[in-house]
């Protein structure tokens, strides 16, 4: 079974631009969660999508948004990029939501904002 895939793996953008990251979950998984990892703040939850609906959202500004498609693939978008948005963005998939299922993580997208 293929694992969680994320594209692109690396991105360089400049301040003020916007960016879209993509995540394809493990086949059969319907929940996709997004996390931001930075040296200063560690791993922080962004949001979770389950069956195309946002299930939960972390404490991030409205510039961070996401969506999920009918095939469970998910995208996250960051608008008006700031230097502080430079981070590793990790996507995780799980079969269910709010259950005891573990989440499986993709390799991440490293975003650098100049």
Partner 1 sequence: AQSVAQPEDQVNVAEGNPLTVKCTYSVSGNPYLFWYVQYPNRGLQFLLKYITGDNLVKGSYGFEAEFNKSQTSFHLKKPSALVSDSALYFCAVRDMNNNAGNMLTFGGGTRLMVKP
With CA atoms as reference, report the closest residue to 90 among 26, 44, 40, 41.
44
Name the DSSP letter for residue 69: -
Q: Which of 16, 61, 84, 98 binds partner 1 (CB under 8 A)?
A: 98
Interaction of residue 45 with partner 1, rule CB under 8 A: yes
Interaction of residue 60 with partner 1, rule CB under 8 A: no
**Which residues does 61 contact at the CB level (< 8 Å), separation at least 6?**
none
Q: Are 94 and 102 in contact (CB under 8 A)?
A: yes
Ranges within 76-95 binding partner 1 (CB under 8 A): 90, 92, 94
**Which residues does 40 contact at the CB level (< 8 Å), separation at least 6?**
none
The residue (of 16 and 61) whose beta carbon lies closer to partner 1 is 61
Q: What does the block give as tokens for 12?
A: 């360089």
Interaction of residue 67 with partner 1, rule CB under 8 A: no
Stretch that binds partner 1, among 12-20, 61-69, 77-85, 98-106 (CB under 8 A): 98-106
Q: What does the block give as tokens for 21?
A: 């990251």
Interaction of residue 97 with partner 1, rule CB under 8 A: yes
Give residues in contact with partner 1 (CB under 8 A). Answer: 4, 6, 31, 33, 35, 42-45, 48, 50, 55-56, 58, 90, 92, 94, 97-98, 100-108
């Amino acid at each position: 079974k293929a694992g969680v895939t994320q594209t692109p793996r690396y991105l360089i953008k400049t301040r003020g631009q916007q960016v879209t990251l993509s995540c394809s979950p493990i086949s059969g998984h319907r929940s996709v969660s997004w996390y931001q990892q930075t040296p200063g703040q560690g791993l922080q939850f962004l949001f979770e999508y389950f069956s195309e609906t946002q299930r939960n959202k972390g404490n991030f500004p409205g510039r961070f948004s996401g969506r999920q498609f009918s095939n469970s693939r998910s995208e996250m978008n960051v608008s008006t990029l700031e230097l502080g948005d430079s981070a590793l963005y990790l996507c995780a998939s799980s079969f269910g939501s709010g259950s005891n299922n573990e989440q499986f993580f993709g390799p991440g997208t490293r975003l650098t904002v100049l």
